[in-house]
């Protein structure tokens, strides 16, 4: 593995960093407070190619691959993890899903608009009683002639309230549970589709999280993505790749927390010297920096595996997501501790970073699910 990035990859990541600092940073605290999405920034990211970063040029993308994508996610997440997760869902789940499992007609219909940000996408799998257990899905898709009729409610859908394209999973055979799930793609103007409750979240408050409601929602048969009753395999395959984006998000948050801790330790004076002069603080900073660097190495290795066409990186992506998310928890915890009482106040960035980090241990598979995946692979 070559650890050096190409000039093109470096340029893409550097531009993402510049964009985050100039276009995301000025509004992130306000959006966090209000629980609002930076739609303008998302559209601008689309115009710059970041919403089609892994999409081939023939479908309107820039085809820069997983390494550039991982670096982009890291830089965006250091500044605004909420906006970053919208970028992750759009690229890792929606675009990748259509690329891997869509027909040529579906690719031509959806990808050019998704890759440029003209359309934004969401991915909806979870339900009230179906989180880590997808076999408990109750949303139904009943075949009627040349159509499917969708009925049910989805939970915790990122980008759900503004997405133009909805990637959704439903039971086409209730008796088969996990082997009766199918995947569908539709647009927001489909009759019978509506947006339900908007969740009031602890962290990543600049990201959307909503219910999606389907009431006798009629879609044509060719709205199915992949084959009937093969939807769970589609979801799991996409989540394997999606974990790269969420791991990058966790690492970006951790790196920002480390930088805040270093800065604060050099400024805060106690007992007539700065915190950075105390060995106990130095040890904490050393541990934090080491963990961040290890996670970054894992991140780019797994991204390299994906770019290299390695077919089975399931174990490695699960390890990456597990380690990166829990590492981020530890780093944010120590950073807040270094800040002391001030770290608990909203005047300081670490308070938001601490809240934003927590979800990385939950979505795209909880830490416990990652351990199940890893154990299965090493015991094969």
Backbone CA torsion sign across 188, 87, 333, 341: negative
Among residues 82, 100, 119, the one where a domain terminates is 119
* CB-neighbour burial class of residue 359 (10 A; exposed 0-12, middle 13-18, buried 19+): buried
What is the helix (H) or strand (E) element at residue 225, kind and residue range? Answer: strand 224-225
Q: What's the length of the chain?
A: 380
Instruction: Choose, from 259, 364, 368, 380, the residue flagged as catalytic.
Output: 364
Is 364 one of the annotated active-site residues of the chain? yes
Q: Are residues 242 and 354 in the same domain?
A: yes
Residue 17 has pLDDT above 90, yes or no: yes
* 257-275 pLDDT tens trace: 999 999 999 999 999 999 9
Residues contacting 211, CB < 8 A, separation 6+: 153, 154, 155, 157, 160, 195, 196, 197
Residues 242 and 329 in one domain: yes
Phi/psi region, residue 274 (left: phi>0; alpha: psi -120 to 50; beta: rest), is beta
pLDDT band at 1, cuts 50/70/90?
A: low
- Tell me, yes or no, whether 220 and 239 share the same domain: no
| Average pLDDT for the chain | 97
Same domain assignment for residues 130 and 255: no
Residue 45 pLDDT: 98
216, 149 contact by CB (below 8 A): yes
Query: Which of 170, 84, 96 lies closest to 127 in space, CA to CA?
Result: 170
Residue 144 and residue 267 share a domain: no
- What is the token pair recorded at 378? 């090493």
Q: Would residue 165 count as lying in a domain?
A: yes
Helix axes 314-339, 279-307, angle to 10 degrees: 160
Tell me how far apart the alpha carbons of residues 312 and 305 are, in angstroms, rounded to a whole number. Answer: 9
Q: Within a domain: residue 2?
A: no
CA distances from 85 to 122, 191, 239, 320 (A): 11, 28, 14, 17
For residue 1, is it within any domain? no
Asked if 119 and 94 count as a contact pair (C-beta separation under 8 A), the reply is no
Q: Answer yes or no: are the C-beta atoms of 39 and 94 closer than 8 Å.
A: no
262 and 198 together in one domain = no
- In sequence order, the β-bridge partners of residue 147 are 144, 220
* Tokens encoding 1: 């593995």
The last residue of one of the domains, among 119, 147, 180, is 119
Give the model confidence (pLDDT) of 319-373 as tens digits: 999 999 999 999 999 999 999 999 999 999 999 999 999 999 999 999 999 999 9
- Same domain for 107 and 166, yes or no, is no
The CA distances from residue 268 to 163, 278, 313, in Å, are 44, 11, 44
Q: How many domains does the chain have?
A: 3
**Residue 236 and residue 159 in one domain:** no
Cα dihedral angle (23, 26, 28, 32), rounded to 10 degrees? -140
User: Average of pLDDT values for 182-201?
Assistant: 98
For the segment 46-71, the average pLDDT, to the nearest whole number, is 98
User: Domain span at residue 354?
Assistant: 232-378
Confidence band, pLDDT 50/70/90 cuts, at residue 60: very high
Query: What whole-number percentage of the chain has pLDDT above 90?
Result: 97
| Position 135 pLDDT exceeds 90 | no
pLDDT (0 to 100) of residue 311: 83
With a pLDDT cut of 70, the percent of the chain lying above it is 100
> Is pLDDT of 58 > 70?
yes
pLDDT beyond 80 at 104:
yes
């Amino acid at each position: 593995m070559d650890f050096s990035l190409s000039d093109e990859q470096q340029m893409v990541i550097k531009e993402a960093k510049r964009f985050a600092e100039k276009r995301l940073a000025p509004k992130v605290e306000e959006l966090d407070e209000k629980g609002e999405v930076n739609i303008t920034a998302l559209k601008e990211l689309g115009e710059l190619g970041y919403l089609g970063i892994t999409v081939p040029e023939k479908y309107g993308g820039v085809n820069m691959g997983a390494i550039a994508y991982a670096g982009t996610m890291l830089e965006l997440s250091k500044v605004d993890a909420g906006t970053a997760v919208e970028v992750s869902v759009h690229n890792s789940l929606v675009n990748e899903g259509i690329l891997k499992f869509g027909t040529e007609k579906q690719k031509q219909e959806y990808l050019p608009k998704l890759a440029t940000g003209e359309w934004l996408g969401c991915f909806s799998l979870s339900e009230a009683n179906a989180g880590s257990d997808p076999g408990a899905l109750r949303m139904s898709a009943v075949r009627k002639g040349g159509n499917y009729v969708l009925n049910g409610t989805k939970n915790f859908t990122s980008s759900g309230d503004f997405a133009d394209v909805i990637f959704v999973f439903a039971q086409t055979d209730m008796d088969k549970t996990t082997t009766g799930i199918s995947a569908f793609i539709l647009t927001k103007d489909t009759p019978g589709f509506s947006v339900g409750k908007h969740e009031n979240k602890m962290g990543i408050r600049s990201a959307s999280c909503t219910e999606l409601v389907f009431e006798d929602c009629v879609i044509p048969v060719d709205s199915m993505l992949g084959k009937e009753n093969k939807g769970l395999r589609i979801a799991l395959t996409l989540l394997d790749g999606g974990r790269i984006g969420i791991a990058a998000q966790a690492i970006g948050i951790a790196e920002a927390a480390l930088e805040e801790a270093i800065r604060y330790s050099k400024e805060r004076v106690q007992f007539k010297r700065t915190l950075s002069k105390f060995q106990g603080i130095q040890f904490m900073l050393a541990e934090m920096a080491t963990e961040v660097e290890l996670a970054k190495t894992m991140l780019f290795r797994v991204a390299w595996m994906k770019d290299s066409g390695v077919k089975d990186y399931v174990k490695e992506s699960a390890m990456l997501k597990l380690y990166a998310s829990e590492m981020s928890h530890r780093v944010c915890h120590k950073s807040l501790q270094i800040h002391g009482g001030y770290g608990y106040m909203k005047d300081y960035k670490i308070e938001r970073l601490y809240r934003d980090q927590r979800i990385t241990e939950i979505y795209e598979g909880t830490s416990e699910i990652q351990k199940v995946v890893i154990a299965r692979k090493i015991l094969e």
